[in-house]
Amino acid sequence: MDPVTASLEAVLQRHAAVPPRGVVADYIPELACADPDDFAVAMASVHGSVYRAGDHEREFTIQSVSKPFVYALALADLGLDEVAEHVGFEPSGEPFNAISLEPGTGRPANPLINAGAIVTTSLIPGDAAQSFERIRAGLSAFAGRELELNEAVYRSEAATGDRNRALGFLTLSQGVLARPAEEACDIYFRQCSLMVTVADLAVMAGTLARGGVNPLTRTAVVDPEVAKIALSVMATCGMYDRSGEWMVRVGLPAKSGVGGGIAAVLPGEFGLGVYSPPLDAQGNSVRAMAVLQEMSSRLGLHVFAPPAGSRSPIAASEVVDDALTVRLRGELDFITAEQVSNHLLEQVVTRGIKRIEVDITHVTTVRAVAAELLRAVGIELRRHGLELMIEPAERIAAAAARVQKAPSVPFIGGPFATEPPTAQPSAVQPPG
């Protein structure tokens, strides 16, 4: 057995030994048929390896894990500005089925609570059949295989989903739902009833981890910008009224579903899927949360944990006559580019150099911030009559072009971008 699978097996065994707390959802009657002992975990690396342990062949309905992915499809189809007219980005701190509408705009707080998810689903273009097919095909592209509807769960939710229909009518009355309420809810119930395995959740999460490119099929499902926004709402709103505690304790953008699945993402590295049907009072799988919490703390996966030690980008540095040649490796981000910048400027001062050549053939990525910093170093060196040559030049030019192309984002809160707040006369008199 490969070492990754072995460690996934070990985590499952440790948690399987503890009897599951929590209860299997039964407010959608068909969900009560799930076996509470089913337990599985999978990981999909951004390089396309998928590791599975436990009952990983079991299919279950995706439920709310679908929400960030459908949000991503809506962003891809309509763009952020249009979607943001219908649904916000703020954690609601309320249960998943709460009536959580922003005063003033009537928008649901975020796309991951039911009200926001139903509105998001309503935005996917086409008639009802086309819209559901876009969702089914889109989620399948995230998963890298064709996902199918569980008719029984769909009918069960459709027969009992009056609270969701109420949220549909309420958002319609606020002018934010984009199609008739019954139709929007029907598409939403179908979306929640798509069947997945833990490996599907891992690959879907892995697609977000890889900036929207499915690590198995290599298909670009959504743009990196869209994947980034989906991850942002998962980080702030993915676990409903446990989102804050989740971020503190686990620190991975994640989304849970009442079917018992959770998808979690370590950006740039991998996606995880965990499945265990018993849920806590918030509707999050108890064992899946425990597995993710253990993995995060034992393996140091929290997104805000700084990497230990420093990475040196300089593989070799050599002065021959009056020419300096520096060979770089790995990823160029701010902190590595800063080391390069300091090294070049120091060599210029101490070694009386006339020419500098930087070889980035073995650099894996040039981040925009690194391109910007190296451009500034080039300008500084030119002021001292020195030429900085970076080879291959196209790579640095491509990263620099990304800086130029980056969209100028309106200031948070929109109106402030054009209308700065006017200074209010202070009630407190300045001293003196």
> Residue 428: left if φ>0, alpha if ψ -120 to 50, beta else—which one?
beta
Q: Which of 258, 274, 358, 377 is catalytic?
A: 258
Residue among 257, 267, 271, 273 that touches ligand GLN (CB under 6 A): 257
Residue 429's φ and ψ, nearest 5 degrees, are -75, 135
Confirm whether 154 is a catalytic residue.
no
For residues 81 to 100, the per-residue mask of contacts with ligand GLN, x marking binding by CB under 6 A and - elsewhere, is ---------------xx---
Identify the CA nearest to 246 among candidates 257, 235, 233: 235
User: Does 140 engage in binding with ligand GLN (CB under 6 A)?
Assistant: no
Which three-class secondary structure state does DSSP give residue 116?
Answer: helix
Helix (H) or strand (E) holding 13: helix 3-16
Q: Among residues 67 and 329, whose Cβ is nearest to ligand GLN? A: 67
Helices 181-192 and 151-160, axial angle in degrees (round to 10): 140
Give the span between the Cα atoms of 407 and 409, in whole angstroms: 6
276 is catalytic: no
Query: Cβ 314 to ligand GLN, closest distance in Å?
Result: 49
Which residue, 121 or 214, is less far from ligand GLN as judged by CB?
Answer: 121
Residue written as token pair 């979690």: 264
List the one residue from 11, 76, 87, 192 that touches ligand GLN (CB under 6 A).
192
Please answer whether residues 164 and 27 qualify as being in contact, where contact means their C-beta atoms are separated by less than 8 angstroms.
no
In the annotation, is 64 catalytic?
yes
User: Among this protein's residues, is 310 annotated catalytic?
Assistant: no
Q: Establish if 122 lies at the interface with ligand GLN (CB under 6 A).
A: no
Q: Does 243 bind ligand GLN (CB under 6 A)?
A: no
CB of 162 or CB of 394, closer to ligand GLN: 162
Residue 82 Cβ vs ligand GLN, minimum distance, rounded to whole Å: 24
Of all residues in this chain, which one has the CB nearest to ligand GLN in the complex?
64
Our answer to whether residue 255 is catalytic in this structure is no
Helix (H/G/I), strand (E/B), else coil: 91: coil
Residues 6+ apart with CB under 8 A from 306: none
The residues carrying an active-site annotation are: 64, 67, 188, 240, 258
Enumerate binding residues for ligand GLN (CB under 6 A). 63-64, 96-97, 114, 157, 164, 192, 257-258, 283
